C-alpha cells in the first residue's frame, strides 16, 4: 500500500518542461550581448597599455632627440619694395609711397643629400624604443634667377650683403658637434636659431655676403639624433635623397615613395629624386613655405603622430607591433563568444544537454580573459609565444569545464576541437591582413550553412521536451497526446 501511495505521489508531481529552443536561443544571445561590455573594456585596456608604452618610449628617448627632418638649405635675402599707403588728413584722403623691408626665400636649383642612419634599440622595463644617429651630407647649388622681376622683386633692391643660409631641424637638441658649411670652398660660421617654417622656426643658420651675386656651391654636413621617424623635406629645382641604414624593418610613407629601395637583413637603402614640378613650388618665395601637417589618430581619437605634406617619410618601426595585433584580435572576440555559445546551444536543443545561463556567462568570461592574458604575456615574451600560451590555457580550461556542463568527455573534446580551430583560424587571419576579410567571410558562410543544416528540424517556437526525457521520446509523447 505504501509503495502504491508513493507511486501515486510521484505520478501526481508535476513534471517541469524544458524551455523552448527559441527561448534558449534568446538567453544565449542576451548573455552574448552583455559580454560585449567587458569585451569593450578589454579593448580600452589595450589602448591604455599602448598609451603607457608610448609614454615609456618617449621617456626612453627624452633628451636624445625627437622625430627629425632633413630639409634643403634656403637662402634668405632681405630686400626693399615700395608700397602705396592711404591715410586721412584734415578729412581728406591722401596716399603716399613708402619703402618697406621684406624677405626673399630662395630655394636651391639642385640639392643632393646623403643620409647615413645608425639605429639603436633602447629598453626600459618591458618597453623598448628605436633611436638613431643620422649623419647628413649635402651639396646645394644657388643662383639669382634672371626673371626675379616677374615676382615683383627689383634685383637692385636685394641686400645681398645680408644674405643668410638657413637650415631646418625639427629638434635642435639632437644636433651633434662637428657640423660644417662651406660656401664656394670658404668655411662659414654656423649659428643657432633662425630655422624655417617647415620646422616651426627651429634650426641653425650662417651669414654670407653675396654682394657679387655669383652662383653659389654649398657643401654641408651635420649630425643629429632622433627617434622613430625621419622626414625628408624636398625643396628646390631637383631634390635627390639617398638614405641607408642597418635597420632591417623600415616603413616608407608620406607623399613620395622611394624610386629605388632595397631591404634585407643587413639593412636598407632608399633613393628619391623629386622635381619641383611635382612639388608645385617655385624656387622664389616671398614668404617661407609652411607645409600643412597631416595628423594621425589612435583608436579613441588621440593624436599619435604627424606627417608633412609633399614629404617622404621613413619610419624605423619594430618588426611586430604587439598592440596593433592584440587590438585586431580583440575585434574578433565576438566570433569566439558566438561560436562557443552556438556549440553549447546545439548540444542543449539537439543532444539534450542542459546549459544554464550562469554556465554561458562563466564560459564567456573565460573567452574574454584570453585577450587579457594575450596582452599581458605579449608585452613580456612577444605576440607569437603569448598567443600559443594563452590559447592553450583557455582551451584546457573551457574543455574541462565543458565536460561538466555538457555531461560527457566526448562533448568536451568536441568543444576543445572547436576552440582549437577558432584560435588557429584567428592566428591565420591576424597574419594574412590583405585576405583576412575574404577568408573570414567565406568561413562564416560555411559555418552558417552547417548550423542551418543541423537545426533544420528544430521547432524553435515549440515548448520543447520534458526534463529528463530524450528529444525523440518527447516527440513521440507529444504525437500520442
Is the predicted pLDDT of residue 299 greater than 60, yes or no?
no
**Under 8 Å between Cβ of 418 and 344:** no
Q: Which of 76-90, 137-151, 312-326, 408-422 has the highest mean pLDDT?
A: 137-151
Dump pLDDT digits (tens) for 120-171.
Answer: 887 777 777 788 899 999 999 999 988 888 888 888 889 999 999 999 998 8
Among 93, 71, 92, 75, smallest CA distance to 84 is for 93
pLDDT score of 195: 86
Integer angstrom CA distances of residue 254 from 202, 224, 234, 293, 312: 21, 21, 12, 11, 4
* Alpha carbon distance 71, 254 (integer Å): 15
| DSSP 8-state symbol, 407 | T
> Which of helix, strand or coil describes residue 68?
strand
Which cell numbers hold the place of 450?
A: 552547417
pLDDT score of 115: 93
Q: Is 201 left (phi over 0), alpha (psi -120 to 50) or beta?
A: left
Is the predicted pLDDT of residue 351 greater than 70, yes or no?
no
Is the predicted pLDDT of residue 469 greater than 50, yes or no?
no
Is the predicted pLDDT of residue 466 greater than 50, yes or no?
no
CA atoms within 13 A on the CB side of 416: 16
Which cell numbers hold the place of 473?
A: 521520446
* Alpha carbon distance 446, 453 (integer Å): 11
Among 457, 291, 470, 371, smallest CA distance to 41 is for 371
**Under 8 Å between Cβ of 166 and 196:** yes
Is the predicted pLDDT of residue 297 greater than 50, yes or no?
no
Q: How confident is the model at residue 26 (pLDDT cuts 50, 70, 90)?
A: confident
Looking at every residue in the chain, the average pLDDT score rounds to 79
Dump pLDDT digits (tens) for 356-386.
Answer: 777 777 878 888 888 889 888 888 888 888 8
**Under 8 Å between Cβ of 370 and 363:** no
Higher pLDDT, 169 or 311: 169
Is the predicted pLDDT of residue 341 greater than 90, yes or no?
no
pLDDT score of 473: 46
* Alpha carbon distance 420, 436 (integer Å): 18
Sign of CA dihedral 255, 259, 264, 269: negative
Helical residues (DSSP H) of 13-71, grouped into ranges = 21-34, 36-61
Three-state SS sequence of 128-166: EEEEEEEEEEEEEEECCCCCHHHHCCCHHHECHHHEEEE
Long-range contact pairs involving 298-305 (C-beta distance under 8 Å, separation at least 24): 298/47, 298/50, 298/51, 299/43, 299/46, 299/47, 299/50, 299/327, 300/44, 300/47, 302/51, 304/54, 305/67, 305/229
Sign of CA dihedral 95, 97, 100, 105: positive
Q: How confident is the model at residue 223 (pLDDT cuts 50, 70, 90)?
A: very high
Q: How confident is the model at residue 16 (pLDDT cuts 50, 70, 90)?
A: very low
Mean pLDDT of 32-36: 81
What pTM, to 2 d.p., does this model score? 0.67
pLDDT score of 30: 85
326-357 per-residue burial string, b: 16 or more CB within 10 A, e: under 16? bbebbebbebbbbbbbbbbbbbbbeebbebee
Amino acid at each position: 500500500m505504501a509503495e502504491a501511495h508513493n507511486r501515486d505521489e510521484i505520478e501526481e508531481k508535476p513534471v517541469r518542461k524544458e524551455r523552448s529552443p527559441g527561448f534558449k536561443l534568446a538567453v544565449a544571445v542576451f548573455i552574448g550581448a552583455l559580454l560585449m561590455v567587458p569585451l569593450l573594456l578589454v579593448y580600452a585596456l589595450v589602448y591604455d597599455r599602448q598609451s603607457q608604452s608610448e609614454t615609456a618610449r618617449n621617456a626612453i628617448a627624452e633628451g636624445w632627440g625627437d622625430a627629425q627632418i632633413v630639409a634643403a638649405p634656403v637662402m634668405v635675402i632681405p630686400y626693399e619694395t615700395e608700397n602705396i599707403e592711404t591715410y586721412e588728413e584734415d578729412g581728406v584722403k591722401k596716399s603716399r609711397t613708402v619703402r618697406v623691408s621684406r624677405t626673399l626665400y630662395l630655394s636651391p636649383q639642385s640639392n643632393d643629400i646623403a643620409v647615413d642612419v645608425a639605429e639603436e634599440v633602447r629598453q626600459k622595463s618591458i618597453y623598448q624604443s628605436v633611436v638613431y644617429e643620422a649623419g647628413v651630407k649635402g651639396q646645394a647649388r644657388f643662383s639669382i634667377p634672371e626673371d626675379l622681376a616677374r615676382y615683383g622683386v627689383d634685383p637692385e633692391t636685394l641686400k645681398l650683403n645680408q644674405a643668410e643660409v638657413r637650415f631646418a631641424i625639427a629638434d635642435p637638441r639632437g644636433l651633434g658637434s662637428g657640423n660644417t658649411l662651406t660656401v664656394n670652398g670658404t668655411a662659414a660660421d654656423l649659428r643657432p636659431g633662425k630655422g624655417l617654417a617647415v620646422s616651426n622656426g627651429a634650426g641653425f643658420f650662417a651669414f654670407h655676403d653675396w654682394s657679387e651675386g655669383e652662383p653659389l656651391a654649398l657643401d654641408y654636413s651635420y649630425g643629429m639624433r632622433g627617434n622613430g621617424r625621419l622626414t625628408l623635406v624636398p625643396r628646390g629645382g631637383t631634390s635627390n635623397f639617398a638614405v641607408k641604414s642597418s635597420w632591417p624593418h623600415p616603413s616608407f610613407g608620406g607623399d613620395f615613395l622611394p624610386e629605388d629601395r632595397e631591404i634585407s637583413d643587413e639593412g636598407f637603402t632608399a633613393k628619391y629624386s623629386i622635381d619641383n614640378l611635382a612639388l608645385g613650388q617655385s624656387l622664389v618665395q616671398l614668404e617661407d613655405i609652411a607645409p600643412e601637417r597631416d595628423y594621425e589618430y589612435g583608436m579613441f581619437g588621440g593624436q599619435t603622430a604627424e606627417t608633412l605634406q609633399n614629404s617622404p617619410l621613413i619610419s624605423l618601426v619594430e618588426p611586430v607591433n604587439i598592440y596593433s595585433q592584440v587590438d585586431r584580435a580583440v575585434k574578433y572576440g565576438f566570433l569566439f563568444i558566438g561560436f562557443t555559445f552556438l556549440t553549447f546551444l546545439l548540444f542543449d536543443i539537439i543532444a539534450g544537454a542542459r546549459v544554464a545561463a550562469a554556465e554561458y556567462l562563466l564560459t564567456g568570461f573565460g573567452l574574454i580573459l584570453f585577450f587579457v592574458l594575450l596582452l599581458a604575456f605579449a608585452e613580456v615574451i612577444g605576440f607569437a609565444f603569448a598567443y600559443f600560451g594563452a590559447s592553450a590555457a583557455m582551451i584546457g580550461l573551457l574543455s574541462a569545464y565543458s565536460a561538466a556542463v555538457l555531461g560527457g568527455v566526448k562533448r568536451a573534446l568536441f568543444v576543445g576541437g572547436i576552440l582549437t580551430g577558432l584560435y588557429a583560424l584567428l592566428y591565420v587571419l591576424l597574419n594574412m591582413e590583405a585576405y583576412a576579410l575574404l577568408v573570414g567571410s567565406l568561413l562564416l558562410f560555411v559555418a552558417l550553412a552547417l548550423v542551418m543544416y543541423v537545426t533544420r528540424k528544430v521547432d524553435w517556437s515549440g515548448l520543447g521536451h520534458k526534463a529528463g526525457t530524450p528529444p525523440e521520446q518527447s516527440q513521440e509523447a507529444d504525437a500520442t497526446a
